[in-house]
Structure 1
Amino acid sequence: MVTARPFAQVDVFSSTPFLGNPVAVVLDGEGLDDEAMQRVARWTNLSETTFVLPATTTTADYRVRIWTPGGELPFAGHPTLGTAHAWLEHGGTPHDDDVVVQECAAGLVEVRRGDVLSFAAPPTRRDGELDEALLTRVTGALGIGRAAVLAHQWVDNGPGWAVLQVATAQEVLDLEPDLTTIGDAMVGVIGAYPPGSEHAYEMRTFAPGVGVAEDPVCGSMNASVGQWLARTGQMSGRWRVSQGRRVGRAGDITVAVDEDGAVSVGGATTTLLHGTALV
């Protein structure tokens, strides 16, 4: 039976409308099974579509399930911010006025309310360097030599991310990957802008294995990479990351490390479409 459900499409990580990363939010996902959710996510054809459900714990304000066109994710960044934004705008009232607590398959995630929403980076499930076989496959797919990679690391906080660090932001922007050879790898590439630039880094993320060739702006990757950069002493305090230029977007992500070493990721959220979804 088809039901009219409240729906919003939220632009995340850009203050300029239609230049961030959109997430589709079905604000009442009760009664929908996995097949129905996957069907909707394939139809929206966005990097992620979310479904809001009642929390299963009194600690959380709501539960969310996050789907790509190719499957479900335990956690993702821009859907976390976009869903919290839509839930609040739809009349959701958090237990704590300053923090929304989201329940997802990866656990509980705090979303702090301020000038912009920001989520507390969840712990990584896997870290350490990539093995040489995977690194060879990834560099081949990206069309770069092994010598161009300054560092590499598993930064998996749910989706399965790994990251390669190259010397400059321009090298990131110049990538012309052949994603047919990358397999199911979920890979980001980051490179630095010159000191004094508006942004500290340029980021690109590729996830063809879940139906997203290039994610326009990726909060989960920036969260776990932020943890890595802070842990290795490369960054501290607060910095901004640019993402999406090669796919016509203007993503602007703020990564912050507090005095206890905890990392948060924030950015603009704006509802650009709202109404009902017949699901």
Structure 2
Amino acid sequence: MESFWIVLLGLLAAGYFALAGFDYGTALLFRFVGRDERERGRALGAMTPFVLGDEVWLVAAVGVLFGAFPRLEGELLSGHHGAFVTIVTGLVAFTAAVQLRGAAPVWDVPLVGGALAVAVGWGVLAADVTGAPAPLWIVGVVGLFSLHGGTFLAWRLPGRAGVRARALARSLVLPCLLFVPAAVLLAGPVARPEVGVGVAVAVVVLLLGAWVTSGRVAFCCTAIACALPVPAVFAAQDVVTAETMAGTGTLAVLVPAAVVVLPLVLLFQWATWWMVRVRHA
């Protein structure tokens, strides 16, 4: 029972970073990829249909955290106010700006600022939880999200805008290679050091894969690279354990809800991508 909930929380968190990461990365890069308002609108238009579907993973993960890990939820909220305020503020600004940006380019400010705040907030939280230096995690998360957004835009945008996106993405591979594996390996007294080493090696391989490939293959490489730090954070100092979970009776009651919610999240995500594929067919 305990393993089921730990794996479920990890999968939802990893899915959120793998998917929402390119939303934030697109917001951070679109003004550099697009040289005029038409190109910038096209870049944002490539990302916008996915935003709500990608955020569903976070909603589901928070629901599992509150329901199945009440002690962990209490520890996180009580000990990391600054990181959570930054993340929530960024999410509100980003989500509002995505919906309103078409009305006026002035919404670029909360769009970019919100995306940056979310990335920085997650970096600060990862540093607080793992004990690794905050600059490593902050630069690593911002770099990973930006790289992921760049590979997405390079895949989805035609012409010169796609070429510029690919060039930007390639320029971010080296900073990510320097900061992300270092953040994972220096994650304090990691309870399971083999997890940290395995994640660091896998991230290096995936980032190099993003460098030498293109299109959806490169996008898959950066998506997995964004998701992989999740198990490293979970393993650091045994952050997620049976001791932080609710009682067995509560977990048993929640199992039917989890069995329903996860397929719905997957179905919603598949439907979003399918509809966008049909629209561009």
TM-score range, shorter chain: under 0.3
TM-score, normalised with respect to structure 1:
0.28
The structure whose residues are more often strand, as a share, is 1
Question: Could you state the TM-score of these two structures normalised by the residue count of structure 2?
Answer: 0.28
